[in-house]
Amino acid sequence: MDIGHIGYFRKLLKLLAKFKRTEHTFMIVVAIIIGIIGGYGAIVFRYLIKLFESIFFSSWHVNITYIESLPWYVKLIVPAVGGLIVGPIIYFFAREAKGHGVPEVMEAIILKGGVIRPRVVLAKIIASAVSIGTGGSVGREGPIVQIGSAAGSSLGQIIRVRGSQLRTLVACGAAAGIAGTFNAPLAGSIFALEILLGDFAIRQFSPIVIASVTSTVISRYYLGNYPAFIVPKYELVSIYEFIPYTILGILSAIVALSFTNIVYKAEDIFEAIPIPEWIKPAIGGLIIGGIGIFFPHIFGVGYETMDLALASKLSWSFLLLLVFLKIAATSITIGSGGSGGIFAPSLFLGASLGGFVGTVTNIVAPGLSATPGAYALVGMGAVAAATMHAPITSILILFELTNDYRIILPLMVAIILSVVIKMQWKKESIYTLKLVRRGLKLKKEYEPNVLSQLKIGEIMKNDFIKVYANTPFKELVKLTKETFHLNYFVVDEDDSLLGILSPYKLRKLDAEQNAGSNQLTAKDLIVKDKIFFTPEDTLDLVGLILNDLILDEIPIVENEKTKIVVGYISKTQVIYAFNREMIKKDMLRSVSGYLGSTNKFKQIQMMDGQILCEVEVPGKYVNKTLSQIDLRHKYGIEVILIKQQYDEKTNETDKVFVPHPEYKFSYGDRLLIVGGEEEVNTFNS
C-alpha cells in the first residue's frame, strides 16, 4: 500500500468518526471496509502459502505427484524447518496465533468485548502460511477467520466503537475471511453468526452479510467465480440410500469425537515434554515429515485429495487409511504448537470417510446407490458439523459448493444425526473445548442460586458459646440465664466439636425438676452431632440444612480434620444474604428491562428530575479509570454499579460490583448511572 492509499485511508477514518451517531449507516460502511480487508486478506494469505511452498519445495505448482517425486529427506526436513520458524513467531510475538485460531476469536468476543491485539494479524498470517506451506497438516480457514477478526477488531479499536459494535466487527472480519476463502458469502455469514456470536439478531446480521458479500466480490474479481472444490453433480438414486447415509452420519459422529479428543490429547503430550515451547513445532514437523515420506496426501490443506475422493478416484482401503492418518497428522501439527485451522481437516476426514462408505455401498448394492463421490460430499458436511457443532453452516456451505438441491436431503439427515450423537457424547465442540480446558465458562445453562456464589466465611459470626463435654447440668442452666444464644457448641478438651446443645432443652429439663437431670453433662445433652460447615462452604448448603433441621445456629469449624470451632452461621444471616443479593440482581434486571432488543439507549425517569439508566462504556473511555474520567465533575453523573463482562482474575462472567476509582474500563463493561438527562445523553453520545 503506497503513501497515497494511506492518506485516503486516514481521511476515510476521519469521515467515519463524524457519523458514528447514525449507527446503522455507520456499521454498514465499516462492514464494507472490513469486507475489503477480509477479501484482500484471504487473497494475500493464499499467495503467501504458495510463496512458502515454492521456497521450501522449489516449485510454484506443488501437488501430490510432485511431492512424491521429491527425495525422502526433503519431505522429512521441510516440515521440521517450518516448525523451527513458526515456533519462535508464536512464542515470542503473539501466543494467540498458536493452534486453530477460532477459540481465541470466541474468547475475545465473549469475554473481552471483541478486543484482539493488532499484532495477531501479522503473526497469524505468517505463522499459518509457513506452517501450511511447509506441509503442516492444517487448514487455512481457521487462520483467515482469526486474521479477518483481528483486522475487524483493530479497526474498531482505532475508531473507538462501543463493545457491542466491536464484537459485531470481529464477526464481520470472520465472515469476510470464510466467504473469501470458500467463495461462499452465505456460509461465511452463517459461520460468524452460528459459531462465533450464537445470535441471529438483525442488527448483527446486516453488517455481517455486507462484509461477507464484499469479500466474496473481491475474491471473485481476482480468483474467478470458482468453488473451493471440484464437485460433480450428484443425486439421490434410491430411497434405500438413506440407510448408508444414516450409517455415514453415525460414523461421522465417531470420527468427529475421535478427532476432537486426539487433538487435545496431542496437546497434553507435547505440553508434558520438558523442552522449550518454541522448539516443539519443529518436533511435530519432523513427525509429519516422517508420515509424509510414505503418504504425502496428509501434507498441507488437502484440497487435492478431497477432489480425488469427490471424483471417486481412491480405493476404499486407502480412504479408510487416510481417516486415521489425517487425524494423527493434524493432531500432531496443532498439538506441537503449529498454526492452522481444523475446518479443512474435518472436511478431509469427512471426504475420506464418506468415500469409504460410498465405495463399500457401491460394492454391496451397485444399482441402488450414487457414486462414492456423493457420499464423500455428504461426509464432508457431517464430520465438519459434528466437529464444530455447526449444522446450519455445514449444510449451507455444502449447498453453496454444489449449487444443487438434489443432494440436500441426505446431507441434512447425515449432518443432523452426526451432530445430535456427537453432542450426546461430548457437549463441547472442538472450538469451545479449548476454552473450557482453560477454565473459561462461556455459556450459562441455568441461572445459578445466588447463595451458591457466597462463601460462609464471608458472613459468619464468631461470638459463639462453646461448652466442654464434662460441663455439669447446673452450670449449663445458669448459662442459659446469662446468655441469649440459640445454640451452644459442645467441644472436647482439644476444642474439637462434638455436637450442638439446645438451651431450650436445658430450660425444659430444669422446669421439670427431674432429679436425674443434675447428673447429666453437656455431652449427654447433645441434640445434633456431625452437623457443621467450614468457611469455604457455600451458603446454599446451609440453606438445605436449615430447611431439613430445626436449628437456628450451625457451627463453623476450621477444617473437617480438627473440627475446631471458629464461628457460627444463623438462619437470619442466610436470609439477609439472600435478600441482599437478590435486591442487587433485581435492580440490574429491572433497569436492563428498559433496554430494548435493539439495544437503543433508554432510561428511567426518577422523582427528582434525574434519570437512572444502564449504558455501555463508550469506546473513548476504554482503558481509562474512573478517576481519570472524573464523571462526577465532568458530566455531573454518578456510577452506581459496574457490570464487568469478564474478570480474568476470578474467571467470573457478568461480575457486578460497586465502582472504585482505579477500576480500568474494558470493552463490554456496562454502567448503572444516575444523573441529569442532558448530562447522561452527553456522556452516552
In a domain, 587, yes or no: no
Instruction: Say what the pLDDT of residue 598 is.
Output: 35
Share above pLDDT 90 across residues of the chain, in percent, rounded to a whole number: 26
444 — pLDDT class (breaks 50, 70, 90): very low
Q: What pLDDT digit, counting tens, does each position of 206-264 carry?
A: 888 899 999 989 988 888 777 667 777 777 778 888 899 999 999 999 999 999 999 99
- Residue 592 pLDDT grade (very low, low, confident, very high; cuts 50, 70, 90): very low
Model pLDDT, residue 594: 43
User: For the domain that residue 558 is a member of, what is the CATH number?
Assistant: 3.10.580.10
Predicted TM-score of the model (pTM):
0.71
Q: How confident is the model at residue 447 (pLDDT cuts 50, 70, 90)?
A: very low
* Residue 185 to residue 397: CA distance in whole angstroms: 9
- Comparing CA positions, the residue from 578, 547, 590 lying closest to residue 448 is 578
Same domain membership, residue 340 and residue 211 = no
Q: What is the mean pLDDT of the chain?
A: 81
For residues 12 and 145, state if they share a domain.
yes
Same domain for 298 and 186: no
Pairing of β 497-501 and β 670-675: unpaired
Q: Examine residue 518 and state whether it is found in any structural domain, yes or no.
A: yes
Helical spans, DSSP H, in 365-496: 372-388, 391-402, 408-425, 432-437, 473-482
The answer to whether the Cα torsion of 286, 287, 293, 297 is positive or negative is negative
CA dist 486 and 546 (Å) reads 14
Does residue 167 have a pLDDT over 80? yes
Domain with 342 in it: 239-437
In a domain, 232, yes or no: no
* The pLDDT of residue 63 is above 80: yes
Look-up of cell digits 482439644? 494
Among 252-256, 481-485, 614-618, whose mean pLDDT is lowest? 481-485
Q: Is residue 349 part of a domain?
A: yes
Report d(CA 195, CA 442) in Å as an integer: 12
81 and 18 fall within a common domain: yes
109 and 73 housed in the same domain: yes
Number of domains in the chain: 4
Res 467 pLDDT > 80: yes
* CA–CA gap between residue 426 and residue 387 (Å, rounded): 10
Kindly report, residue by residue over 547-585, the tens digit of the pLDDT: 666 677 888 888 888 888 888 888 777 777 777 776 666
Rg (CA), the chain: 32
- Identify whether residues 570 and 603 lie together within a single domain: no
* CATH at residue 619: 3.30.70.1450
Q: Are residues 468 and 378 in the same domain?
A: no
| Residue among 611, 604, 610 at smallest CA distance from 589 | 604
pLDDT band at 545 (very low <50, low <70, confident <90, very high): low
Which of 175, 194, 223 is at the close of a domain? Answer: 223
State whether 635 and 494 are in the same domain. no
Structural domain contains residue 447: no
CATH of the domain at 356: 1.10.3080.10
Residue 228 resides in a domain: no
Mark whether 360 and 501 lie in a shared domain: no
Question: Looking at the predicted structure, is the pLDDT value of residue 660 above 90?
Answer: no
Res 550: pLDDT: 63
- My answer on whether 318 and 189 are in the same domain is no
What band does 42 get if pLDDT is binned at 50, 70 and 90? confident
Cell numbers standing for residue 491: 467441644
- Answer yes or no: do 207 and 261 share one domain: no
pLDDT one-digit tens code per residue, 353-371: 999 999 999 999 887 888 8
Q: Residues 168, 592, 538, 666: what is their CA dihedral angle, to the nearest 10 degrees?
A: 40
Q: What is the pLDDT of residue 404?
A: 65
Residue 226 DSSP symbol: -
Residues 6 or more apart whose CB falls under 8 angstroms from that of 424 comprise none
The angle, 0 to 180 degrees and rounded to 10, between the axes of the packed helices 163-182 and 202-223 is 30
Q: How far is CA 108 from the centre of its chain?
A: 8
Is residue 341 one of the residues assigned to a domain? Answer: yes
Higher pLDDT, 616 or 227: 616
Higher pLDDT pick, 127 / 601: 127
Closest CA to 76 of 279, 281, 286: 286
The tens digit of pLDDT for each residue in 274-288 reads 999 899 999 999 999
- Whether residue 581 lies inside any domain: the answer is no
Least confident residue range of 164-178, 301-315, 590-604, 622-636: 590-604
Q: What pLDDT, in 10s, does the model give residues 133-147? A: 999 999 888 888 888
- The cell for 477 is 442452666
Shared domain check, 218 and 83: yes
- For the segment 111-131, the average pLDDT, to the nearest whole number, is 84
Sign of the C-alpha dihedral computed for residues 334, 339, 344 and 348 taken in this order: negative
